[in-house]
Amino acid sequence: MKLRVGYELVYECAQSTPMLLMLNTHSSRAPDMVVPDHVITHPWVSLRQYHDSFGNLCTRLTAPPGVLTLSARGVFEVPPHHELIGSNNYQNAVEELPDECLMFLLGSRYCETDLLSEVAWQMFGHTPLGGTRVQAICDFVHSHIRFDYNCARPTKTAWQTWQDGVGVCRDYAHLAVALCRAMNIPARYCTGYISDVGLPPPYPPMDFCAWFEAYLGNSWETFDPRNNAPRTGRILMARGRDAADVAISNTFGPTSLIRFMVVCEPDG
């Protein structure tokens, strides 16, 4: 099955403004790419790209004063059936973990493992190790948080989400990541596209989505506490310690986002 993905973001800049974007799909999806999702700007501005330490493709540009439109359209092959989520049930001991996994055991900007460690062990210390424990964490997060766009805020952390019990998909992911790390399970935050293929209408407005990956049995396994069910068509854009590492845009000057539109739907 082919899936068409893309976006249109319109910014208004009061002055010439440097920007750092993370708006391309991840290089791990390159084998599935039918049409590349090149970043297009209007008016035209010069772009420069590089890969960060997490392997994400980043774009640098300087927006001119006024209105700048950023857009992309790509097409990807995806399996026409539900994905398998969290199928590996082996949990590596900390001393067995590869060096590159250790950073995903530590606290980060939005995932305060120190504040949630006691809570995590009280709730999940009795559960079986591995994927079963991660799924128990996802089940708790899914039921504990009430989804509400009106309660979203860019500064909300995992600890605050646990206290508030309300948030959006990034808050679900942050809380689950923090709880996994507190239980000695490496977890990394992911963002990208998730389609509504196979779900009954009505469909909410499309948005970029967040989920996470847990390191189990010497591989990274996908978990999605927001939806807490397999989906058809999940395309990774970026991954990191938490949302601070994968912001779709960082602007270094006064800007306003005046239009935001995301597409993720069957092609043809």
Convert the pLDDT of each residue in 1-17 to its tens digit.
Answer: 999 999 999 999 999 99
Percent over 90 (pLDDT), the chain: 90
Is the domain of 223 the same as that of 116?
A: yes
Is the domain of 107 the same as that of 239?
A: yes
133 DSSP 8-state letter: H
Is the domain of 139 the same as that of 60?
A: no
Q: Residue 199: which pLDDT band, with cuts at 50, 70 and 90?
A: confident
Is the domain of 41 the same as that of 108?
A: no
Given a cut of 80, whether residue 133 has pLDDT beyond it is yes
Given a cut of 80, whether residue 100 has pLDDT beyond it is yes
Convert the pLDDT of each residue in 243-252 to its tens digit.
Answer: 999 999 999 9
Mean pLDDT across the stretch 161-165? 96
In angstroms, the CA 63 to CA 253 distance is 10
Res 160: pLDDT: 97
Is the domain of 118 the same as that of 103?
A: yes
Q: Does 22 reside within a domain?
A: yes
Is the domain of 12 the same as that of 132?
A: no
Question: In angstroms, how far is CA 189 from the centroid of its own chain?
Answer: 5
